[in-house]
């Protein structure tokens, strides 16, 4: 039964398992609900295949006891430990966020201050442990958790041992992660706070350079390099790093532990001197570098015959172990190899005799050391090949390659390989088609137990969002609508518009309503400034046609009024309103056009007496020219009756 079967189960009547959040070489970590205290916790559950081994069970118990002694904000708190049937578990503080390994994947090689600021918090946590006489012994990026607000917490004190008993462990098992193992752990020469210092130094090197300090085709080769090769200065890979940064790493990773910082607190003080110099912009500081750099070559671990003997085992000695790793190249898991095979592979002890042995010369001792070193290397190689089969090839199998397969194809492929595929998330992808696998955990080629569950992330296709209709909206309204659609407001172009009120969007630019675009695409808009203000030109004195055309060309509507004028010729503009100033485009400008003088009808006065005729014509507004004498009867008039004449025109009348 795989780990996924635990989801939904209540351990010890208290811890409801809700989901798996991590998987390591020996255990999986689940998010759980503490039903008694109503809080979220992390529950570490030992893999069932290891649960029968007393050494692993003891490690879990030891982890709880060791970590429970530490009450520090930079240390993941351990709340409880226990067993439920064949399940051995540990209950810890749940820390949301990322591991340092996650951060390194995206940021390494890191800027010096960024790296050292993170390491500073790790050292603060380890200082608390070292002061409590506890040694972590498995410091690595996977055990450094970083909360969303940047606080660092160190986890998995399962390898910690009281310093007083640090040189031995249950079954003499030495557990750790090979990339960060101090040389003394490899040769089983005892462990103390300086072993943690070495691991922090190796981790700092990787943060600064982006690569592990020692590389090899197998864990044994890497372990061998820790013992026999110095970790180089980070500036070899990062030219321009100050000399005192190199010196700090050299001090922490000295192969001779006597040359290292005594414990985490000492290294913390040295690191803070380096931080200060970096913040002050100091490029190189020969005095600081000399003060930090190891004082001398020290005594290599391989120079001690006793240490080599301890590494390979001898007659009458307890079983010894070394450490190997499993998992992907980017994530290292802790694993343990039993020491029985080492002891079995060691040459039998030669019984002592009573024959006197002449004193060994320095050359004899050197040859003896060389032979023992050769034996150590041979035994370590046999150990990797023999026990590595059970804990590696023989026990674990490769994760199949499922990326880019459709979901159904991936499920079938996983089942055929003996695994269960669980789709844990769906994400947008620009490169992986809809419904196909983006990634798996574990990744293809990683070594996992048969019948395990492989978590998969399946593509939801490209992430696209429809452009909303923004016409008629204000800019604030448009921003809100775009934010809801996961888009952003782009360039705003303003123009005058006769129809759209000022401040409202006229149209989109570059895209159309309903277009599907990428997340956070910027949408450009054209915004109305309202109607355009125009300067008025006065067309008084122009003809009606000239004034009308001129005003229309500017952008106005033209209103025409007509008026008689004795002074302005017919068809000529008498006046204009408005005649000057600023008017909005499309507004009406009114012109008054002359109809010329006003004409009046000449009344008929023929047959009337002279006096009556004169009175009638004058009343009609005409001047009268009388041809004749006395009050005669009008026999004729000119202009004739009914004709139209200007006011004041002269009408002649005649009679007898």
> In terms of residue numbers, what domain contains 83?
3-93
Q: What is the helix (H) or strand (E) element at residue 32, kind and residue range?
A: strand 27-34
Is residue 588 one of the residues assigned to a domain?
yes
3-state secondary structure of 421: strand
For residues 257 and 260, what is the distance between their CA atoms, to the nearest angstrom? 5
For the chain, give percent helix, strand, coil, nearest 5: 35, 25, 40
CATH code of 539's domain:
3.30.10.20
**Domain co-membership, 176 together with 321:** yes
Instruction: Please name the residue ranges forming H helices in 417-525.
Output: 475-484
Instruction: Tell which of 58, 93, 128 closes a domain.
Output: 93
pLDDT of amino acid 321 = 30
Q: Do 90 and 44 form a contact (C-beta atoms < 8 A)?
A: yes
For residues 222 and 475, what is the distance between their CA atoms, to the nearest angstrom? 61
Is residue 520 one of the residues assigned to a domain?
yes
Mean pLDDT by 10 residues, the chain (656 residues): 78 93 80 93 80 59 70 89 86 92 93 96 94 88 92 77 36 62 82 94 97 90 92 95 97 95 95 94 93 73 39 30 35 44 32 38 52 52 44 64 93 92 90 92 83 91 93 95 94 94 95 92 95 94 95 95 92 94 94 93 94 93 91 92 91 89
Q: What is the helix (H) or strand (E) element at residue 134, kind and residue range?
A: strand 134-135
For residues 214 and 388, what is the distance between their CA atoms, to the nearest angstrom? 20
**Domain co-membership, 213 together with 299:** yes
> How many CB atoms within 10 Å of residue 525?
23
For residues 182 and 464, what is the distance between their CA atoms, to the nearest angstrom? 50
pLDDT digits (tens, 9 = 90+) for 324-375: 333 333 455 554 433 333 333 333 333 333 333 344 454 555 555 555 555 4
290: Cα separation from own chain's centroid: 40
C-alpha distances out from residue 239 to 22, 250, 283, Å: 36, 16, 12
Instruction: Tell which of 93, 128, 143 closes a domain.
Output: 93
Q: Where are the beta strands (DSSP E) in 496-556?
A: 505-509, 516-518, 522-528, 533-535
How many residues does this entry show for the chain? 656
**Domain co-membership, 213 together with 309:** yes
**Domain co-membership, 263 together with 133:** yes
Residue partners of 85: CB distance under 8 A and separation at least 6: none
pLDDT digits (tens, 9 = 90+) for 388-410: 444 434 457 888 999 999 999 99
pLDDT of amino acid 449 = 82
**Domain co-membership, 216 together with 300:** yes
Active site residue 138: yes
CB-based contacts of 50-55 (< 8 A; 24+ apart in sequence)? 50/26, 51/86, 51/87, 51/88, 54/170, 54/171, 55/170, 55/171, 55/173, 55/336, 55/338
Q: What is the helix (H) or strand (E) element at residue 489, kind and residue range?
A: strand 488-495
pLDDT of amino acid 86 = 81
| Total domain count, the chain | 6
pLDDT of amino acid 370 = 53
pTM of the model: 0.50
Region of 127 on the Ramachandran plot (φ > 0 left; ψ -120 to 50 alpha; else beta): alpha
Is residue 149 one of the residues assigned to a domain?
yes
Q: What is the mean pLDDT of the chain?
A: 82
**Domain co-membership, 193 together with 313:** yes
Residue partners of 38: CB distance under 8 A and separation at least 6: none
pLDDT of amino acid 313 = 33
Catalytic residue chosen out of the listed positions 3, 138, 192, 246: 138
pLDDT of amino acid 57 = 65
């Amino acid at each position: 039964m795989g780990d996924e079967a635990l989801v939904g189960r209540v351990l010890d009547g208290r811890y409801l398992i809700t989901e798996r959040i991590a998987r390591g070489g020996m255990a999986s970590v689940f998010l759980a609900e503490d039903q008694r205290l109503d809080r979220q916790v992390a529950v570490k559950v030992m893999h069932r295949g290891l649960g029968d081994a007393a050494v692993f069970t003891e490690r879990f118990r030891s982890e709880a006891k060791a970590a429970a002694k530490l009450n520090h904000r930079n240390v993941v708190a351990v709340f409880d430990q226990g067993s439920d049937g064949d399940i051995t578990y540990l209950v810890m503080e749940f820390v949301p966020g990322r591991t340092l390994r996650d951060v390194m994947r995206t940021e390494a090689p890191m800027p010096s201050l960024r790296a050292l600021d993170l390491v500073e918090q790790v050292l603060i946590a380890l200082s608390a442990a070292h002061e409590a006489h506890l040694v972590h012994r498995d410091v690595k990026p996977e055990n450094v958790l970083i909360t969303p607000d940047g606080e660092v917490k160190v986890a998995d004190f399962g390898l910690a041992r009281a310093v007083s008993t640090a040189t031995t462990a249950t079954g003499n098992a030495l557990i750790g992660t090979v990339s960060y193992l101090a040389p003394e752990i490899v040769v089983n020469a005892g462990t103390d706070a300086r072993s943690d210092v070495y691991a922090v130094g190796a981790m700092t090197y990787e943060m600064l350079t982006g690569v592990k300090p020692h590389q090899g085709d197998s864990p044994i080769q890497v372990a061998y390099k820790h013992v026999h090769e110095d970790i180089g200065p980070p500036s070899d890979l990062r030219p321009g790093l100050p000399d005192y940064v190199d010196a700090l790493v050299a001090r922490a990773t000295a192969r001779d532990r006597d040359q290292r910082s005594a414990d985490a607190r000492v290294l913390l003080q040295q690191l803070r001197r380096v931080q200060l110099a970096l913040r002050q912009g100091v490029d190189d500081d020969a005095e600081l570098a000399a003060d930090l750099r190891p004082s001398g070559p020290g005594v290599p671990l391989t120079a001690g015959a006793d240490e080599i003997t301890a590494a390979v085992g001898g007659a009458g000695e307890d079983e010894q172990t070394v450490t190997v790793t499993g998992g992907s190249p980017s994530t290292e898991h802790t694993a343990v190899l039993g020491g029985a095979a080492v002891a079995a592979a060691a040459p039998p002890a030669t019984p002592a005799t009573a024959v006197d042995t002449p004193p060994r010369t320095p050359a004899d001792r050197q040859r003896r050391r060389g032979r023992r070193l050769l034996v150590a290397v041979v035994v370590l190689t046999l150990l990797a090949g023999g026990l590595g089969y059970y804990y590696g090839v023989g026990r674990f199998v490769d994760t199949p390659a499922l990326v880019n397969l459709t979901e159904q194809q991936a499920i079938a492929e996983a089942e055929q390989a003996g695994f269960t595929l669980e789709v844990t998330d769906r994400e947008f992808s620009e490169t992986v088609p809809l419904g196909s696998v983006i990634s798996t955990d574990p990744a293809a080629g990683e070594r996992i137990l048969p019948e395990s569950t492989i978590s998969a992330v399946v593509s939801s296709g490209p992430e696209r969002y429809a452009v909303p209709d923004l016409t008629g909206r204000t800019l604030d309204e448009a921003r809100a609508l775009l934010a809801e659609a996961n888009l952003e407001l782009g360039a705003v172009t303003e123009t005058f518009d006769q129809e759209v009120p000022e401040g409202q969007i006229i149209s989109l630019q570059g895209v159309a309503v309903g277009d599907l675009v990428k997340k956070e695409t910027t949408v450009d808009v054209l915004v109305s400034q309202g109607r355009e203000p125009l300067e008025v030109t006065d067309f008084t004195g122009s003809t009606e046609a000239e004034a009308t055309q001129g005003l229309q060309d500017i952008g106005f509507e033209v209103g025409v009024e007509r008026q008689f004028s004795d002074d302005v010729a017919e068809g000529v503009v008498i006046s204009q309103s408005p005649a000057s100033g600023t008017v909005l485009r499309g507004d009406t400008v009114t012109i008054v056009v002359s109809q010329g003088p006003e004409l009046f009808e000449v009344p008929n006065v023929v047959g009337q007496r002279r006096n009556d005729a004169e009175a009638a014509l004058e009343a009609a507004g005409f001047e009268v020219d009388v041809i004749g004498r006395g009050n005669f009867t009008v026999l004729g008039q000119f202009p004739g009756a009914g004709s139209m004449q200007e006011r004041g025109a002269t009408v002649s009348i005649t009679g007898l």
